[in-house]
Structures are given as structure tokens and as C-alpha cells.
Structure 1
Amino acid sequence: MELRTRTLGDICDDAGGEIKTGPFGSQLHQSDYSENGTPVVMPKNIIDGTVSVADIARIADQHVERLSQHCLKVGDIVYGRRGDIGRHALIKSREDGWLCGTGCLRITAGNGELQPNFLHYYLDQDDVKGWILNQAVGATMPNLNTTILRSVPVTYPSRESQRKIAAILSAYDDLIENNLRRIKILEEIAQNLYREWFVKFRFPGHANVRMVDSPLGKIPEGWEIVSIDDVATVHRGRSYRSKDLVDDGGLPFVNLKCIDRDGGFRRNGL
């Protein structure tokens, strides 16, 4: 398989693409946001390679027209400019026409040698993310810019080989997504069962159990009310500094990045 290596900027330039910063604060004001309208992709919406619509901001149509140069198209890749700068999302048909928000960068590969899906998976490699992080500027918080993204070296095969590679990886992603949906459904079932049994007290055989008074109201006879300290030990997490962490080996360190908004565990935050 013949491979080529070029910078991402050169590839985009030759293909009519671009690497562009999202609108600045002077272009998109807080007063421009509304309850309804076109979604605006912010860094917080970039999760696990996709765009999350949880708490996504929106702007009215007149502002979208004014900021049309920042509209997203299928195949674009969006990066957050600060913090966890390795995060990026591939824009799919659902997000076509949405706006690249303040604090983000947009990559449009164009119609050339690079297939967008392949580029998305290529940029998700640990060594590529590490290279980008090493180039990022900012003493306390890494900052990404167009110059860094343009200089990313990309090694790629023919466009047909890229398509095949991306198709295989995409099939695995679809399988993972389907399994995550099933897990979410099972979690909802478990939560409903918990509420039914331990909040509403409608557990199997509840009709034959007498309800008695307690400081929290009526509870089934034989049940107790205790504090967490009575049944568990609460430990404070260990403080650490960035110099204590290593890229390879060592014991995984669970921090806030490992915990998603739904109370689940994200291994890619380790």
C-alpha cells in the first residue's frame, strides 16, 4: 500500500478546503442566543467524537445568515480550542447547517486526496493527539490554533483505501453506539425499578407488608433509616499534580473527566 505524508494545511489548500476559527465574541454575542433556532456547536458539545445536543445553544435565523461563513457541512471536523484540545467531532447529516461556535476550529478537507471519515479516525490516534498537544500554546491551559492544525502531518493511502478503512472503523463505531443505546435503556429500566421498589415501596409482596412511621414518613415495617456513615466509608480523593501523571503504564487515575453527565463511567477520560 503506497502512503503519502503531507501537512493537513497543504492538503486542504489543494482540495479547496480550509481550516478556520469559529466566530469571535465580537461577532456572536450572548444576546444573540435564543431558546429556538439553529444549534451552535461549542467545545462542551464535543463528546466522544460526536456532537452532543445536551444543553446546546441556539441562535435565530438572521444571525445564521450573518455568520454563514461559519456554517458546518457534512464531513467537517470541529475541534475545541482550549482545554482538552484532542477532542474533535465529525459533522454528520444531522449537524449539516449548524454553526461552528466561539471557541471552536473547523476543518474542511475539501474534494481532494483526503476522505473526511478517514481523517477523523486518523486524528483520533493517540500519537496524533499527543503531537497536537505538544504543539499547543499556553502555560496553564493548552490552546489550539489554525497554525498548529495546518502543520499536522497526515500519512494516508489512496482514497479508495481510506474509504475501506473508514468503513470498517465506522461499522465498529455503529456497533458500539447500538450497544450503548441498549445499556442506556437497561439503566433506565433499573432506575425505574429502583424507584418502584425503594421510593414508592411497590416491591414484590408489598401488599402484605405493614407501613410504619419514620422520620422520613411511612416506610415498610422492618426497614431502617441509617446514614451513609453507618453502612459505608467515604474517602477523600487523592490530590495530584500534572507532573505526577505518565502517558504509558502506571495505575489508571479516575478524575472528573471519567464521569459523564448521566453518572456513567468514561474510560477514555483515564
Structure 2
Amino acid sequence: MARIQRLGELSEVTPSPSSDQFEGLGEGLGGTPVIAPGDIADGKIAEQPLLRSLEKVPDSLERFQVAPGDLVMVRQGAVGRIALVEERSRGWLYHFACMRVRPHRALVDPGYLIAYLSHPKVLDQLLTRANVGTVTTVTTRMVEELPVAVPPIAEQRLLTGALAEVNAQIENHRRSLARLEALRPALITHVLGGEVPGERLPVPAAAPEPVRRAARGPRPRRLS
């Protein structure tokens, strides 16, 4: 039977770094990636976040690096977005609009925890606790106080495995759908011989000066 515990008892919730610690943050290929809210979708982190920090992570930001099994949660704006950190994101930083949830593995499985926190009814609870103003915000304390139903760890891991199979099937269907959507216009183009009528309209050449003058009509005569 599942027991109920606070999220703060099951994990270490680390608040976001302050915005002034990201001086020099910009877009590019160099530096350590920074996980921003826009990089989080469908429980995953984008492979190539746009924002990157300085070439070397300063000492003041080292405690905000992530490791596999961590959860990164949006705390400001798109509250409720959450992603599980994979090996490829080891050592990345998280944005000041996010927070990190590091599960205590002996108590809760990371895969189970992200599935639970992503449940629509749990998200509703989180949003109910949020500060709603110009920008919706949740605090570390609000997240720590969130109740979590915790089955025995063996059951959590079984559920995590089952959910991984479901997610794999969903991803396969998405890829199939994307291929079919791309195939539909391609079939029409193929039947028409590779070109749609009017696709390449000739650019009209400029008319000679006498023709342009005739189109404008005669010039008005000056009165002497």
C-alpha cells in the first residue's frame, strides 16, 4: 500500500541560482549548456539548449550542476514543466527560472517520481499552491510540501519499466505519423511530375520606357 510523504522528505529540492550569476550567458556552441524552461518538453531536456554559460563553470555555480536521475522543474512562468536528467546532460546547469529535485534513491525511484509529478491532478495541486501574478511562480517550500503517494520501491521500479515501454510506443507512433504527414504532399507532387502548376512563375521583365510612358498616358501640357 502506498504511503504519503512530502516531496521534501523524499528528495533534496535546490532553489534556482540568482540571475546575476549568469553574467555573460548567451547563445553559441561553446560553454556549458544551461537548461531553460523552453528546453523542457515531454519530460525530456533538449539535446542542444540554446543558452550556454561561460567556458568554465564558476565556483559559485558548481552546486547548481545536474546529474543523471535529477529532476529539473520550471518554477517561474511555465510552472509544471519537468524533465528527468539523462547521462548526456551530466554537469549542465539549470536556469534561474527552474529548480532541481534530487530524489533519495532508497526512498523513491526517479522514473516513478517524474511520472507522479507529471500527473494532471498533481500538477493541478502544484498550480493551486503557486503565486499567481504577472508571472506564475512556485517556491522551494511549496514544492517541498507537495504530498507524494509512495508505493514500495520494487513496485515503483516495475511501474517505471512499464511507463518506459509506453513512452517508447508513443515515440514510435509519433515518428510514423511524422513520416505519413511528410508523405502526403510528396505523393501529390510525384503525380504532377515533380512540380505544382504556378510554383515557378516567370519574373516579369521591365517594360521599355516608351511602353511605360504610354501606360501612364500623355504628360499634361504646360500653360505659358
Normalised to the residue count of structure 1, the TM-score between the two structures is 0.66
Q: Secondary structure at the match of 1:19?
A: strand
Could you tell me the TM-score, scaled by structure 2's length? 0.79
2:90 to 88, 96, 118: 96
Identity %: 26
Residue matched to 1:129: 123
> More relative contact order in 1 or in 2 (CA 8 Å, sep 6+)?
2
Alignment match of 1:22 (pick from 7, 16, 20)? 16
Tell me, yes or no, if the aligned pair for 2:28 and 2:50 is still in contact at 8 Å.
Answer: no
Structure 1 gap segments, 5+ residues each:
13-17, 198-202, 220-270
Q: CA deviation at 1:146?
A: 0.5
Task: Report the counterpart of residue 179 of structure 2 in structure 1.
Answer: 185
After superposition, the C-alpha distances for 1:104-143 in whole angstroms (9 at most, x for unaligned) are 0110012321111100011111111111100001334320
1:222 corresponds to which residue? none
Measured in 2, the distance between the counterparts of 1:68 and 1:104 equals 16
5+ unaligned residues in a row in structure 2: which ranges?
204-224
Q: Which position in structure 2 is the counterpart of 1:257?
A: none
SS in 1 for 2:33: strand
Match of 1:32 in 2: 25
Alignment of 1:217 onto 2:216: no
Larger Rg: 2
Equivalent position to 2:103, from 101, 109, 131: 109
The 2-side partners of 1:69 and 1:23 are apart by: 9
1:5 and 2:18 matched: no
Structure 1 residues 204 and 71, CA, compared in 2 at 3 Å: closer, same or farther? same
Q: Is the 8 A contact 1:82 1:103 kept in 2?
A: yes
Matching of residues 66-105 of structure 1 within 5 Å: 66-105=60-99
Q: Partners in 2 of 1:34 and 1:41 — Cα distance?
A: 12
Contact 1:73 1:91 in 2 (8 A): yes
1:172 is matched with 166
- The root-mean-square deviation of aligned C-alpha atoms, in Å, is 2.7
SS at match of 1:62: coil
1:97 and 1:20 map into 2 onto residues whose CA distance is 15
The DSSP-based 3-state class of the residue aligned with 1:26 is helix
